[in-house]
Chains A and B, each alone.
Chain A
């Protein structure tokens, strides 16, 4: 059973601080990982994806992957109130018949306090 686990939160962070979102996964066959942001009532919006061990930076966002620990994280620097949303972590495996669909965690609700 493939699982992606996230702390549901809410995670409350002061404006301007660093928000740290974490995710663990059970399927060692997972090849790539995606972070999506979802505002209430809206569709998921892709923020970043990562497939190599280490860090990947894009603007205020840094994704981190540790395959040995089966751990993925997303750091948001200089948090803004507009970053308040639910953040979804997803993993994707590559099985014999081709790539699988994304396996999502339930999401972490992030609140940035002005």
Chain B
């Protein structure tokens, strides 16, 4: 399967726990984007990464959220001390290059539920 992969597909956490979401881009893609979709709301950009670099994190909440894309392995979105308002679908997308004329392809998403 050459598509964008995300795991886990569903994640349940209690308030105060940590959530780690993983994303492996499509083969040949080195640009990764994370988006969040809250219930009944649109998709919101969070962060854009290349290998070992955060390019744009203008959409990331200032506290508790972090992202990385190491030289080896998947990109990880980390949410510390989760709260109920973090319950959402988190989507990862990837593109071959980072310019505006490249398509972004989405993974299946991770649905986070905070109890």
Contact = CB atoms under 8 A, between A and B. Distances in A.
Nearest to B44: A104
Interface of A: 31-32, 34, 36, 42-46, 49, 51, 88, 90, 92-94, 97-107
B91 interface: yes
B42 A99 contact: no
Contact of A43 (B33, B42, B48, B91): B91
Contact of A32 (B33, B45, B101): B101
Contacts of B42: 88, 104-107
24 contacts: A31-B101, A32-B100, A34-B104, A42-B108, A43-B91, A44-B43, A45-B106, A46-B106, A88-B42, A88-B43, A92-B100, A98-B98, A99-B48, A100-B45, A100-B48, A101-B45, A101-B47, A101-B58, A102-B33, A102-B35, A102-B104, A104-B43, A105-B42, A106-B42
A97 B55 contact: yes
Interface in B37-52: 41-48
Contacts of B41: 106
Contacts of A36: 106
Nearest to B43: A104
Contacts of B18: none
